[in-house]
């Protein structure tokens, strides 16, 4: 897992673990609202929350979907689709299409449409990670002086996207 994704997930886990008083004074976002929202999201389609507040769905075909969301200063979300054990990763196009279908169904259709449109423009940087995965990094707000990014990882065992917002 790359550093930026670990950072966003760490923020989400920290926000859930903070005592209520610390959440109120140190966080720009309502942590109680995040926790309740993630419970509602997990309940859709028969999911559950793990100890970190990540929503998890185990599908009948052996695949696993996870959604982590939260933050104190920046709001970040990561959606992943982990392929069934022993399954081969689909083609890049199929993996990306399946990822955005997952974002749409398990998170927000509007977020899926927005991210998919950005990826389709091809305005991203590509690099190969140490584990052989491909990372696509693009701006969520092209043209502005300060913008947030999305990171899409195409791996042998999973495909995931992370993005942050103000």
Per-residue model confidence as pLDDT tens digits over 88-113? 999 999 999 999 999 999 999 999 99
Looking at the 3D structure of the chain, how many domains does it have? 1
Structural domain boundaries, residue 49: 3-165
98 with 105: CB under 8 angstroms? no
Give the CA distances from residue 98 to residues 91, 135, 159, 160, in Å, rounded to whole numbers and listed in that order.
10, 16, 9, 10
Where residue 166 falls among pLDDT bands split at 50, 70, 90?
low
Chain segment 127-138, per-residue pLDDT in tens:
999 999 999 999
Measured N-to-C along each axis, helices 31-43 and 3-17 cross at an angle, to the nearest 10 degrees, of: 110
Beta bridge mates, 134? 128, 154
Coil, strand or helix at 57: strand
């Amino acid at each position: 897992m790359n550093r930026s994704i670990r950072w966003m997930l760490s923020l989400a886990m920290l926000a859930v673990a903070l005592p209520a008083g610390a959440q109120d004074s140190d966080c720009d976002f309502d942590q109680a609202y995040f926790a309740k929202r993630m419970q509602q999201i997990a309940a859709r389609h028969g999911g559950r929350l793990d100890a970190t507040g990540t929503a998890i769905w185990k599908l009948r075909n052996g695949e696993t979907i996870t959604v982590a969301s939260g933050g104190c200063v920046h709001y970040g979300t990561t959606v992943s689709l982990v392929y069934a054990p022993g399954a081969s990763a689909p083609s890049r196009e199929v993996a990306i299409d399946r990822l955005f279908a997952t974002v749409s169904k398990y998170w927000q259709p509007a977020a899926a449409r927005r991210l998919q449109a950005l990826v389709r423009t091809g305005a991203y940087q590509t690099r190969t990670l140490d584990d052989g995965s491909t990372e696509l990094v693009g701006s969520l707000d092209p043209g502005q002086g300060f913008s947030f990014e999305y990171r899409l990882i195409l791996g042998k065992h999973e495909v995931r996207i992370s993005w942050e917002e103000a």
